Amino acid sequence: MQPLANLKNNISFEDFKAEVLSDYKIAVESRECSLLGRREVLTGKAKFGIFGDGKEVPQLAMAKAFLKGDWRSGYYRDQTFMMAIGELTKEQFFAGLYANTDIELEPMSAGRQMGGHFVTHSLNDNGSWKDLTKQYNSSADISPTAGQMPRLLGLAQASKIFREVKGINTSNFSIHGNEVAWGTIGNASTSEGLFFETINAAGVLQVPMIISIWDDDYGISVHARHQTTKENISEILSGFQRDKDSKGYEILRVKGWDYANLIETYQEAGAIAREEHVPVLIHVTELTQPQGHSTSGSHERYKTQERLDWETRHDCNVKMREWIIESGIANHEVLTEIERNAKREVRQAKNNAWNTFLKPIKKEQQELISLLKQLETTSANGVFISKIKDTLTNIQDITRKDILSHARKALRYVIGEKSAEKKQLSHWINTVLEHSQPLFSSHLYSETQRSNIRIKEVKPTYDDDAEQVDGRIILRENFDAIFNHYPEALVFGEDTGNIGDVNQGLEGLQEKYGELRVADTGIREATIIGQGIGMALRGLRPIAEIQYLDYILYAIQIISDDLATTHYRTKGKQKAPLIIRTRGHRLEGIWHSGSQMGGLLNLAKGVHLLVPRNMTKAAGFYNTLLQGDDPAIVVECLNGYRLKEKMPNNLSAIKTPIGIVETIKEGTDITVVSYGSTLRLVEQAAKDLLAMGIDVEVIDAQSLMPFDLNHDIVKSIEKTNRVIIIDEDVPGGASAFILNEILNTQNAYQYLDSAPKTLTAKPHRPAYGNDGDYFSKPSAEDIFEAIYAIMHEVNPSDYPKLR
Ligand SMILES: Cc1ncc(C[n+]2csc(CCOP(=O)(O)OP(=O)(O)O)c2C)c(N)n1
Ligand SMILES: [Mg+2]
């Protein structure tokens, strides 16, 4: 190994020694956490463990090059890095393992994520930003391998935007775009498409992104020969290396146990990315996994003895220790002392974390025991209650589940009794549930004043002689106003820039606002969303465009796993108010007529899903969203861009409310709920039905998630006593969701005189052409007949059978 070049210039040898020993201390403490952590799982105190052992030393080097304002987007091996930047204490490490629900004690997710998933807090309790330039930042990890990559791209791109776009208020977010986004990924996870998509996109965009590949030759049990061509990721990526003629990457290679070289490599990488805004890839090889992949198996099952022996010799902490002694920085005794202290301190931290974790739960245990003590004396079933009390008392490592489960079962024994003690128990259960449920279920959406649903409606107003324009003109004028008003807003996607999107809702805006703010991207939906997530995490207001709703499937994983969970998994400590703009519903054929609302409703809880029936409504949604904190998908009607709409005289001020339905035709006979393009057919059918004496009330859902927060639909059903839901999703899709909301949430069953119905598309993808559409999706005739059939059933003499 090489001697260490000065860690920093003009540092004394004593300071240098102290820094190395302080690093060594972090490395061995981190290792000790991994070792003890595994034991905590095997003894049953924690549920699952995945640790950073064998990857400590490169993370020390990365931490030294990581500056305040920088961002990390990494994965579950990075505990040592988090400890080295001071964002993870030993207590917090164990609090995460035990799933402590107190965000102060378990700042990584308040127990919502398994240990090894790291985060820093970007937000104050009221949802406002902290000064991110003055702190180290880590975006919240997710478990799906390579899922950290798309977001990493956006985190890096934000620096470019902050550096190059004029007029943005960067305070809290950036200092001249000097911030680097640091990614980490395991060698095997580089097999994922998301890795390659991100690598290519970052090379194109030339953003300050440094991706470290922690290479231990394995992905769980699967060796590199099954993962990576030539078993060497940096070699196969070498075509990305920049040279004097073309832009690209700087690619660096270093051994993961070589402390001195690691530090130099990371300093070099940091300087290149920070100053030149060039992406860097660091392939860190010869890493190990001393305890195997996770607590769910042992690596002796799949590694040869030879490999295991090699890993013992090349353990990065062992190698660092050897180097310290060889370099004369410290002797064996000094290091042994550090190791002994580490063992003691980690054990202490573990005990502290366990006791603080158990304290509030034990308090509830005690409360319940004393309630049961009282109950057993007054109840006729005292023996049974006494038994429950005894088992409860004997549980040492108690959980909330144990407590509530015992309490709720005890209550069943006094079901027919009337006593103050029974009342007390029942009240206690309600209180505990009320207090405990939010620990696990809060913060799916913003809970602050900046929640989307708190943004007040502003209706469009019109001049008497308002011009009739194509819908796309309304969008374009509104986007113009948005980019003019919000310097931090930007839009990007396929064909979004130069031609101003395929339907020209952004026509001419690139010329006006520049190529960075109205930007073309490659065809790569997942990383378009990743760009949006990363930039939103850093205070920008990105609008990510997915060209057609059908292609959102390429990005659904990242929307579902990352975007939809950001606020929830950080318990409101990070937000990504990304707006996803897309267009869908009826047009042509299997891949341009998508209306897979049910899929999105199921997979993207945590993201608002908005389905405006026209472009004025859509414009109003964009204006609302830019004032709120929740991410959203806006599905514009593909066949609405050339339809005429009246131009409002207050366009930039209008706001469509979120979670509020609109009654677009009043009627008395039946409530019809629909949304999007289908509404035009419903309106036509309603006219035809009126001519036959059937007066339909038409409600535009317009916001599927959240849905009808004021419960206006049930009020309509109270009047009409009948309901049909009509959409162009498959059977059991969004219509089933809406029906569930109406029946389960709004209790509409009590007002229904006819069976509630749905009318949907066929269960296959829509066929091409006019006839394909007619036979695949509900037509005006289908709608007419479905509604008529309900009325026929009610009153066959007035409405005789049609066919
Ligand atoms: C999309 C996805 N597939 C599978 C898994 C299960 N899984 C978790 S870690 C892992 C192996 C990752 O290996 P590598 O990227 O080399 O990282 P290492 O654990 O070796 O550091 C797998 C298959 C997952 N989390 N996500
Ligand atoms: Mg690996």
Question: Could you identify the atom of ligand 1 that is nearest to the CA of residue 143?
Answer: 25
CA of residue 143 to ligand 1 center, whole Å? 8
CA distance 464 to 752: 42
CB 656 within 8 A of CB 751: no
The 3-class SS string of 514-562 reads CCCCEEECCCCHHHHHHHHHHHHHCCCEEEEEECCHHHHHHHHHHHHHC
Q: Is 212's C-beta closer than 6 angstroms to any atom of ligand 1?
A: no
Mean pLDDT of the chain: 97
Quick one: pLDDT at residue 585? Answer: 81
Q: Is 195's C-beta closer than 6 angstroms to any atom of ligand 1?
A: no
Amino acid at site 754 = S
Cβ atoms < 10 Å from Cβ of 120: 23
H or E element at residue 439? helix 420-441
CA of residue 218 to ligand 2 center, whole Å? 4
Q: Band of the pLDDT at 586, cuts 50, 70, 90?
A: confident
pLDDT tens, 721-740? 999 999 999 999 999 999 99
Q: Name the residue at shortest CA distance from atom 26 of ligand 1.
A: 144
What string of DSSP letters covers 351-411?
HHHHHHHHHHHHHHHHHHHHHHHHHHHH-TTHHHHHHHHHHHHH-SS--HHHHHHHHHHHH
Q: How far is CA 335 from CA 25, 28, 39, 312, 349, in A?
A: 9, 10, 24, 18, 21
Q: Which of 189, 283, 302 to mutate to test the pocket of ligand 1 (most atoms within 8 A of CB)?
A: 189
Question: Could you identify the atom of ligand 1 that is nearest to the CA of residue 146?
Answer: 1
Q: Is 223's C-beta closer than 6 angstroms to any atom of ligand 1?
A: no
Cβ atoms < 10 Å from Cβ of 144: 15
CA distance 228 to 219: 11
Pairing type for strands 218-219 and 222-223 reads antiparallel
* Residue 750 DSSP code: G
Q: Name the residue at shortest CA distance from atom 17 of ligand 1.
A: 186
pLDDT tens, 532-551? 999 999 999 999 999 999 99
CA distance 383 to 371: 15
Smallest Cα–Cα separation from 280: which of 258, 232, 247, 231?
A: 247
Q: How far is CA 376 from CA 362, 373, 418, in A?
A: 21, 5, 14
| CB burial readout 560-582, b (16+ within 10 A) else e | bbbbbbbbbbbbbbbbbbbbbbb
Quick one: pLDDT at residue 10? Answer: 66
pLDDT exceeds cutoff 60 at 3: no
Question: Could you identify the atom of ligand 1 that is nearest to the CA of residue 220?
Answer: 11
CA of residue 220 to ligand 2 center, whole Å? 7
Amino acid at site 688 = D
CB 156 within 8 A of CB 281: no
- Residue with the two structure tokens 């008529």: 788
- Residue with the two structure tokens 């990007």: 492
pTM as predicted: 0.97
pLDDT exceeds cutoff 60 at 5: no
Q: Is 277's C-beta closer than 6 angstroms to any atom of ligand 1?
A: no
pLDDT tens, 341-386? 999 999 999 999 999 999 999 999 999 999 999 999 999 999 999 9
CA of residue 194 to ligand 1 center, whole Å? 13
Quick one: pLDDT at residue 1? Answer: 47
pLDDT tens, 80-120? 999 999 999 999 999 999 999 999 999 999 999 999 999 99
pLDDT exceeds cutoff 80 at 7: no
pLDDT exceeds cutoff 60 at 663: yes
Question: Could you identify the atom of ligand 1 that is nearest to the CA of residue 147?
Answer: 1
Share of the chain above pLDDT 90, in %: 96
Ligand index nearest the alpha carbon of residue 190: 1
pLDDT tens, 772-795? 999 999 999 999 999 999 999 999
The 3-class SS string of 183-222 reads EEEECHHHHCHHHHHHHHHHHHHCCCEEEEEECCCEECCE
Q: Is 145's C-beta closer than 6 angstroms to any atom of ligand 1?
A: yes
pLDDT exceeds cutoff 90 at 573: yes
Smallest Cα–Cα separation from 603: which of 552, 551, 678, 527?
A: 552
Q: How far is CA 189 from CA 50, 231, 713, in A?
A: 16, 13, 47
Quick one: pLDDT at residue 11? Answer: 78
Q: Taking residues 383-392, report their average pLDDT.
A: 98
CA of residue 204 to ligand 2 center, whole Å? 27
Q: Taking residues 754-772, report their average pLDDT.
A: 96
Q: Which of 114, 145, 231, 283 to mutate to test the pocket of ligand 1 (most atoms within 8 A of CB)?
A: 145
Burial (0-12, 13-18, 19+ Cβ within 10 Å), 448: middle
CA of residue 185 to ligand 2 center, whole Å? 9
CB 800 within 8 A of CB 692: no
CA of residue 294 to ligand 2 center, whole Å? 12
Residues written for the chain? 803
Q: Taking residues 270-294, report their average pLDDT.
A: 97
CA of residue 101 to ligand 2 center, whole Å? 30
Q: Name the residue at shortest CA distance from atom 21 of ligand 1.
A: 186
Q: Is 189's C-beta closer than 6 angstroms to any atom of ligand 1?
A: yes
CA of residue 51 to ligand 1 center, whole Å? 13
Burial (0-12, 13-18, 19+ Cβ within 10 Å), 317: buried
Q: Name the residue at shortest CA distance from atom 18 of ligand 1.
A: 186
CA of residue 296 to ligand 2 center, whole Å? 16
| CB burial readout 152-171, b (16+ within 10 A) else e | bbbbbbbbbbbbebeebebe
Quick one: pLDDT at residue 6? Answer: 47
pLDDT tens, 136-146? 999 999 999 99
Question: Could you identify the atom of ligand 1 that is nearest to the CA of residue 185?
Answer: 15
Q: Is 148's C-beta closer than 6 angstroms to any atom of ligand 1?
A: no
Instruction: Please indicate whether residue 135 or residue 11 has the higher confidence score (pLDDT).
Output: 135
- Name the CA dihedral angle for 570, 576, 581, 584, rounded to a multiple of 10 degrees: 0
pLDDT exceeds cutoff 70 at 643: yes
Q: Is 293's C-beta closer than 6 angstroms to any atom of ligand 1?
A: yes
Report the alpha-carbon angle 210-213-219, nearest 5: 150
CA of residue 197 to ligand 2 center, whole Å? 20
Q: Name the residue at shortest CA distance from atom 15 of ligand 1.
A: 186
CA of residue 141 to ligand 1 center, whole Å? 13
Instruction: Report the chain's C-alpha Rg in angstroms.
Output: 30
Q: Taking residues 34-56, report their average pLDDT.
A: 96
Quick one: pLDDT at residue 635? Answer: 97
Q: Name the residue at shortest CA distance from atom 11 of ligand 1.
A: 219
Q: Taking residues 486-493, report their average pLDDT.
A: 98
Q: Which residues contact 106 (CB under 8 A, 6 or more apart)?
A: 92, 95, 96, 99, 100
Torsion over CA: 548, 554, 559, 560 (sign) = positive
Quick one: pLDDT at residue 296? Answer: 84
Q: Is 216's C-beta closer than 6 angstroms to any atom of ligand 1?
A: yes
Q: Name the residue at shortest CA distance from atom 8 of ligand 1.
A: 145
Q: Is 299's C-beta closer than 6 angstroms to any atom of ligand 1?
A: no
Q: Which of 184, 220, 286 to mutate to test the pocket of ligand 1 (most atoms within 8 A of CB)?
A: 220
User: Can the peptide bond before residue 706 be classed as cis, meaning omega within 30 degrees of 0?
Assistant: yes
Amino acid at site 186 = G
CB 673 within 8 A of CB 725: yes
Question: Could you identify the atom of ligand 1 that is nearest to the CA of residue 77?
Answer: 21
pLDDT exceeds cutoff 90 at 467: yes
Q: Name the residue at shortest CA distance from atom 1 of ligand 1.
A: 144
Burial (0-12, 13-18, 19+ Cβ within 10 Å), 196: middle
pLDDT exceeds cutoff 60 at 620: yes
Smallest Cα–Cα separation from 147: which of 100, 93, 183?
A: 183
Catalytic residue among 283, 293, 592, 608: 592
Smallest Cα–Cα separation from 596: which of 491, 480, 729?
A: 729
pLDDT exceeds cutoff 70 at 766: yes
Amino acid at site 430 = N
Q: Which residues contact 241 (CB under 8 A, 6 or more apart)?
A: 248, 249, 250, 251
Q: Is 144's C-beta closer than 6 angstroms to any atom of ligand 1?
A: yes
Q: Name the residue at shortest CA distance from atom 7 of ligand 1.
A: 145
Question: Could you identify the atom of ligand 1 that is nearest to the CA of residue 50?
Answer: 19
CA distance 341 to 343: 5
- For this structure, is 117 an active site residue? no
Amino acid at site 64 = K
Question: Could you identify the atom of ligand 1 that is nearest to the CA of residue 187?
Answer: 16
Q: Name the residue at shortest CA distance from atom 14 of ligand 1.
A: 186
Tokens of 202: 């970052």
Quick one: pLDDT at residue 168? Answer: 98
Q: Is 117's C-beta closer than 6 angstroms to any atom of ligand 1?
A: no
Q: How far is CA 47 from CA 44, 143, 363, in A?
A: 7, 16, 22
Quick one: pLDDT at residue 4? Answer: 57
pLDDT tens, 186-200? 999 999 999 999 999
